[in-house]
Each structure stands twice: as structure tokens, then as C-alpha cells.
Amino acid sequence: MKLGSTLELVMSSITWELLMIVPTRGGKRIHLSLVANPSHLEAVDPVVVGKTRAKQYYSNDSDRTKNMGILIHGDGSFAGQGVVYETLHLSALPNYTTGGTIHIVVNNQVAFTTDPRAGRSSQYCTDVAKALNAPILHVNGDDMEAVVRVCELAAEWRQTFHSDVVVDLVCYRRFGHNEIDEPSFTQPRMYQVIRNHPSALEIYKKKLLESGQVTEEDIHRIQEKVLSILNEEFLASKDYVPKRRDWLASHWSGFKSPEQLSRVRNTGVKPEILKNVGKAITTLPDNFKPHRAVKKVYDQRAQMIETGEGIDWAVGEALAFATLLVEGNHVRLSGQDVERGTFSHRHSVIHDQETGETVLPPGSCHHEPK
């Protein structure tokens, strides 16, 4: 795999925000951060994608190969929650792309108690991703090696083509949706089959033993090792006191450079700075031909800055953003209509009425095309 040694993975998780350094088999180290997910299904998706984009920005990962998002979905929610479709549609937009997200759908073939036929109109739970022409890799969760192969393929796809890829891990859930659930209330026949079905571990053990590559002793040793790690962690959990670092504190460390942090101080700037900055944000380039109404808005703004009187919301906002920029901060305003403003009040990006060229005063600001 062509994954960089400092690959940063941002993943959705059902429980908490956690940061860890994970060694890979190839001797590299991956910085893995899990983003807390509320019980509101899939709500974390755009958070993971946004965090990935921010990490890419702050780590100068311009080709988006060092930071990547992985989203883990349920089959019912992947097909049923609108935010999934919205997140997929952000994936290739220039101002939102993260160079591809790997989506892993843990497809246990039931959504809590709802059968697929009652939960979606498409054949596969992953069909929503067809709108992107993303590759969708369906794999049998009982076939360990196929799962590994497919996940490697997904990672290579993402690193090569920088676009989303979906793994549909077709499996089942041995027990209920939660501790108090009894799945045979609603899926009696499915659970009869599941009760008689060997576990993925049993299936793989059998396959390895038959191939002659490992012995019973080897398997026993590996199993004991894994069990002892789990037991140790379980015992340690009894008197575990959560650290602030495990939640919000940690993921901000290193997020901003010491130089940026040293500039954090009480807000508010001197009137001279507001005047200077105000001049820059109300001056249009020579020979630029704005719409007549916009020209008027800009003339009025220039007057507000000059006299210090009648400053409106839009100018106040522009001054706030501009002074943040002057202090070396990154300001990102995102969403449809943000350039002009929903009520035509902002006009931060102006279109030349003859050439169609756009400018974001002051012209030096970075403005990504639509």
C-alpha cells in the first residue's frame, strides 16, 4: 500500500473521541483519532470529513495523501439517513473534498429490528453510493482473507484515485442490537440460522488448519495472547479514570503551531487597524466592473469605514474576518450562498459583469472556485 508513514486517520466511532498512535505491520505509525458519535445515526459523518479537511489544511497536506477519513456505517443507516447522501455529495466538491473517504458498512442485514425490504427500496444498502460512481466492494464477512484483501484494495483505490470507495461487509449480528434486545422476537428464522452458524473465528481456524499452515498449538497461543490482552484491559477498566486528554483536550494539541498559539489574546483591535483593514476590504481592483448595485454597496461601505458611522452587520462581519486574517488565522466560510449571503448582504465574492472573473477583496485572499 502506498500509505505515508505519517498517515492520519480520522474515523467515526460509536463511543468517544480517542487519539492513539497505531503501529502498522510494515513498521510505520498511524495517528488514529476517533470522533465521538451521538446516538443520532450518521450525524458524525460530516464532522469526520470536516476534521479531515482541517487536518489536511493545518498539516500542509496539499495532495491529501497524509490524512484520510474512514466512516463506519450500519446498513440501515447508510441507506436511510439523508446525511449520508449529503456527505457523499460533498466528496468531490473542490471546497470540501478530502481526497476520498473509505466507507465501511458493517452490514448485519438488519437495522435494529427492521428487515431490508422494509427499510430501503434499493437492492443493496450501499446503492446510494452509486450516485458517485464510487466503487462498491461487497465482501463476505465470514471470509477473513477476502475482507483484508478488499480493505487493502479500498485503501489503494483512495490513495491512487483520491475519491470515495465503499466496502459492504456482508455479515450478521450474533446477539441483539443492545444488551436488552432479544432478536428472535422480530427475526425468528434469521436467528435460528445464526445460532447454528459457526463464528468467523471458527471458520478461519478450520481453514488455516486444513491448509496445514498453522497447528492447533499456534492457534491456541494466539488466542490466549489476544484473550489475555482483552482480560487485562477489562480489569484495568474497573478503576480507569478518564483523562481530559482522551476527550476534547488532546486533539487540539499540535493543531495550531506555537507561533499561532502565541498570538491568541483578548479580542479587539485598535481603530487604526480597523481603518486600514476596512480600506482594504472595501477597495475593488482597478478596471473591475462590479454589478451596479454591488458597486453602490461597496461605496457605502467605504463611507462607513471613513466616517466610522452606520457600520452594518455585513461590514462588522467583514472587519472581524479580515482582522482574524491579519493575525494569521485561517478563516473558512462554507456552505451554499455564503459568498453573496442569503439576504444579499455579504457580497464577499464579486463577479465582474463583463468577464465573469471573481474577486474577494482584498484581492490577495485565497478564494477557491465553485
Ligand X SMILES: Cc1ncc(C[n+]2csc(CCOP(=O)(O)OP(=O)(O)O)c2C)c(N)n1
Among 45, 75, 164, 168, binds ligand X (CB under 6 A): 75
Q: Which stretch binds ligand X (CB under 6 A): 29-37, 103-111, 131-139, 200-208?
A: 103-111
Q: Are strands 358-359 and 350-351 parallel, antiparallel or unpaired?
A: antiparallel
Task: Count the alpha carbons within 13 Å of 130 in the hemisphere toward its beta carbon.
Answer: 8
Q: Which residue(s) pair with 33 in the sheet?
A: 10, 19
Where are the alpha helices (H) located in 15-58, listed in sequence order? 45-58
45 binds ligand X (CB under 6 A): no
- Residue placing its CB nearer to ligand X in the complex, 39 or 364: 39
Q: Which stretch binds ligand X (CB under 6 A): 18-26, 59-67, 69-77, 264-272?
A: 69-77
Query: Coil, helix or strand for 301?
Result: helix
Q: Are strands 18-23 and 8-12 parallel, antiparallel or unpaired?
A: unpaired
Residues 6+ apart with CB under 8 A from 168: 75, 105, 107, 124, 125, 126, 136, 137, 138, 139
Q: Minimum distance between the CB of residue 32 and ligand X, rounded to whole angstroms?
A: 22
For residues 146 to 185, the per-residue mask of contacts with ligand X, x marking binding by CB under 6 A and - elsewhere, is -------------------------------x--------
187 binds ligand X (CB under 6 A): no
Q: Which stretch binds ligand X (CB under 6 A): 74-82, 196-204, 210-218, 318-326?
A: 74-82
Q: Minimum distance between the CB of residue 131 and ligand X, rounded to whole angstroms?
A: 19
Q: Minimum distance between the CB of residue 142 and ligand X, rounded to whole angstroms?
A: 17
- Residue placing its CB nearer to ligand X in the complex, 111 or 154: 111
112 binds ligand X (CB under 6 A): yes
User: Which set of grid coordinates corresponds to residue 198?
Assistant: 459457526
Q: Which stretch binds ligand X (CB under 6 A): 1-9, 36-44, 184-192, 273-281?
A: 36-44
- With contact defined as beta carbons under 8 Å apart, do 35 and 48 qualify? yes
User: Which set of grid coordinates corresponds to residue 41?
Assistant: 445515526
Q: Which stretch binds ligand X (CB under 6 A): 110-118, 164-172, 211-219, 305-313?
A: 110-118
77 binds ligand X (CB under 6 A): yes
- Residue placing its CB nearer to ligand X in the complex, 61 or 168: 168
- Residue placing its CB nearer to ligand X in the complex, 74 or 278: 74
Residue 40 identity? H
C-alpha torsion sign, points 64, 69, 75, 79:
negative
Cα-based angle 252, 22, 243 (whole degrees, multiple of 5): 45
- Residue placing its CB nearer to ligand X in the complex, 13 or 260: 13
Residues 6+ apart with CB under 8 A from 276: none
- Residues of this chain that interact with ligand X (CB under 6 A) are 39-41, 74-77, 81, 108, 110-112, 177
